[in-house]
Amino acid sequence: MSAIHRICGAALFATLATGATAACAQATVVRYGQASSAARSIFSLPIVVAEREGLFQKEGLDFRVVIPIPGGSDKMIAALHDDTVDVTHVATTFLVRAALAGSDAVAIAAEFNNPIYSLVARPEIGKIADLKGKLVGMADPAGSIAISMRKLLALHGVREGDIRVKTIEGTPTRLNCLRRGECAAVPLGQPQDLVAQSEGYRVLGFSTEAVPEFLYTVTAARRSWAAANKDTVTRYVRALAASFRIIRDPQRRDAVVKAIVDTTGVSPAIAERTLALYFEPERKVLPRQGEIDLAGMAQVLAFMGEAGQLKAPLPAPERFVDLQYLRLAGVR
Amino acid sequence: MALAAAASGARAGGDSFEPDDHSPDEGPAYFGFVKDVAGKPIRDAKVSASYKTSLTLVTRTNATGAYKVRGFKKEISPNDVTITCAKEGYKQVRVFRRPLVKGKPVRSVETECRLQRVQ
């Protein structure tokens, strides 16, 4: 589907503001798939900012968010194939699995490159090496969080056999393990790592130290649909690129903080600290303009190989991306 | 888009299924049946609950033709949520919403959707 319909009002204002001459724009509907679990998380930030800033409207798009219920890993690519959505937000591991199973879905732009997971420990633990012999709460051993944490531990001389591991899914649950004293350390995402820090727990390191490049979530589309709607896809990518520029613009920090607060429900202080964690110094959490880092995709494939989800020889990262829309949108 | 109420702490991109519990800011559930014109339930029909045009929650009916959608925030009025249904080989012919009881908090909204086979 790539329906055209008329929109006026706010879209008209945005169109006129950019100097376009149309009195009432012809907008192209784009249905964007989003997992319900991501809808109120930091991972929706690029889309939230693009919507709030009217960037899709400026590109002549009538952007609509579609959330499959129930959600789940297989639902996002499936939603592309059953014409529920035109493009979708998806974690790259699931895109790779779907593509290897025969889907023609490919990444057309990056949304989140390298999420930071902090290794947070009880206050009396001063450094990673002090974790030897202690219980560490970990995520799914085959997942990217656990793999990056094992690499971080190894970087500091702690091998897998040196610690006791308990698998605990979900950042809030792992934080509870830390709070009740059962776990000596756990990996936490934002904002719980910042909350834990404010409670006196100690951050021993970040996943990004051990895994500097990654490609966590992308916008994906079917090759066939994208090829038939090249202009629409290019305009979508251009709007997304503009959103990243705003997110990175220090002059627009207040607007971005407000977007995080309104979307996730965290306090403004936590939202500020989250952005500081991402950008001060630059930790490559977000792309600069939605560009796809093939080295990051290669790292995803390597992780999947390490977890036994892919067999050697690993496929080339180029197989899972289509860079032409980024190029057409002027993103290098 | 921030009008969807989802579980916190979940992961991005669809790699986790939200727990089956209400978040405190979640609005009513939308439920009902999809049937054909003779009243027989239709399984695996696609049901869309749309808040204006900005946000749509999509689900499918089970073997009894039933569906249930939750996830809109409580500040969204049920009057602004439209239910539609679709299935290949059918067209939608009727949507009927059970009237809400005035003065009582809305916990669920029942809507029946009828489809007719296209010849």
Q: Which domain holds residue B75?
A: 20-117
Q: What is the DSSP string of A50-69?
A: HHHTTHHHHTTEEEEEEEES
Beta strand B90-97 with B55-60 is unpaired
Give me the residue label for tokens 């959600």. Answer: A71
Q: Does the interface ipTM go beyond 0.90?
A: no
Mean pLDDT calculated for residue range A137-156: 89
CB contact under 8 A, B12 and A43: yes
CB contact under 8 A, A112 and B46: no
Can you list the domains of chain A with their CATH numbers? Answer: 4-113+215-328 (3.40.190.10), 118-210 (3.40.190.10)
Q: Is the pLDDT of residue A128 over 50?
A: yes
CB burial of residue A26 (10 Å; 0-12, 13-18, 19+): exposed
Write the pLDDT tens digit of every residue in A149-165. 999 999 999 998 999 99
Nearest C-alpha in B relative to A89: B13
Note whether residue B4 is domain-resident: no
Write the pLDDT tens digit of every residue in A82-99. 899 999 999 898 899 999
The pLDDT mean for chain A works out to 89
Round to whole Å and give the CA distance between A214 and A112: 9
Write the pLDDT tens digit of every residue in B80-99. 999 999 999 999 999 999 98
Q: Which two tokens stand for residue B10?
A: 């979940």
CB burial of residue A159 (10 Å; 0-12, 13-18, 19+): exposed
Note whether residue B8 is domain-resident: no
Q: Which two tokens stand for residue B56?
A: 């749509």
For chain A, count helices (H), then strands (E).
16, 11
CA proximity to A218, closest of A51, A81, A38:
A38
From B7, B14, B70, residue closest to A75, measured CB to CB: B14
Domain containing B56 — which CATH number? 2.60.40.1120
CA proximity to A237, closest of A326, A112, A324:
A326
CB contact under 8 A, B14 and A89: yes
**A67-76, A282-291, B4-13 — most confident range:** A282-291
The structural domain count of chain B equals 1
Buried b (16+ CB within 10 A) or exposed e, A257-289: bebbbebbebeeebbbbbbebbeeeebbbbbbb
β-partners of residue A61 are A28
CB contact under 8 A, A43 and B18: no
CA proximity to A296, closest of A271, A324, A317, A267:
A317
CB of B55 within 8 Å of a chain A CB? The answer is yes
Distance from CA of B32 to the nearest CA of A (A): 15
**A72-76, A181-185, A308-312, B70-74 — most confident range:** A181-185
From A43, A66, A94, residue closest to B58, measured CB to CB: A66
Distance from CA of A134 to the nearest CA of B (A): 25
Distance from CA of B113 to the nearest CA of A (A): 18
User: Which of A8, A29, A37, A303 should we substitute to test contact with B (largest number of B Cβ atoms within 10 Å)?
Assistant: A37
